[in-house]
Amino acid sequence: MPSTREATLAALHARLLALPATALRGEVLPERVPAEGLLILRDGEPGEPEVTLSPLRYHYQHRAEIEAVVQGASRDTAFDTLCASIGAALAADRTLGGLCDWVEAEAPQPVDLPVDGAASLKAAVIPVVLHYSTADQLA
């Protein structure tokens, strides 16, 4: 049985897989960016939990990251559409099927990355905060 952390990250990845863009988890940036865009989920850091006693619970604000990348002539529009689709996917179920208390993305800070001999990339890291609780720090 997966830990709460892993189950929550897997549910977030499943949400991203439902989008038209290619969604990977923990992979390196491939040589080619698909026309519909690319998302790479990074597990991030759970941080220090707040602890409550009786019953013992660890409350995390886990910061995962989604790397969003688009390429092509209309990359500004494609990037905006991709970010909006991520927001809509998260807003559709803020608890990821009851696995966490709340999930919310923060605003991206996009950058243009030049590529020799090809259209430049537009990319950003989108921080996603997952609020969840567990009875054991390793479970």
What does the pLDDT look like over 48-70, one tens digit per residue?
Answer: 999 999 899 999 999 999 999 99
pLDDT in tens, 15-53: 999 999 999 999 998 888 999 999 999 999 999 999 999
Three-state secondary-structure class, residue 115: strand
Task: Tell me, yes or no, whether 52 lies in a domain.
Answer: yes
Q: What pLDDT, on the 0 to 100 scale, is given for residue 114? A: 84
CA angle (112, 114, 119) in 5-degree steps: 95
- Please state, in angstroms and rounded to a whole number, the distance separating the CA atoms of residues 41 and 44: 9
**Residue 115 binned pLDDT confidence (cut-offs 50, 70, 90):** confident
DSSP state of 3: -
Task: Tell me, yes or no, whether 16 lies in a domain.
Answer: yes
- Please state, in angstroms and rounded to a whole number, the distance separating the CA atoms of residues 62 and 106: 13
Task: Tell me, yes or no, whether 68 lies in a domain.
Answer: yes
**The total number of structural domains that make up the chain:** 1
CA angle (29, 32, 34) in 5-degree steps: 100
CA angle (61, 10, 63) in 5-degree steps: 25
Q: What is the pTM of this model?
A: 0.93
| pLDDT greater than 90 at residue 84 | yes
The residues near 93 (Cβ < 8 Å, ≥ 6 apart) are 15
Task: Tell me, yes or no, whether 139 lies in a domain.
Answer: no
Q: What pLDDT, on the 0 to 100 scale, is given for residue 51? A: 97
Angle of helix 4-17 relative to helix 75-92, nearest 10 degrees, comes to 130
CATH number at residue 125: 3.30.70
Task: Tell me, yes or no, whether 94 lies in a domain.
Answer: yes
Dmax (CA) for the chain in angstroms is 61
26 dihedral zone (left: phi>0; alpha: psi -120 to 50; beta)? left
Q: Whole domain around residue 63: which residue ranges?
A: 4-134
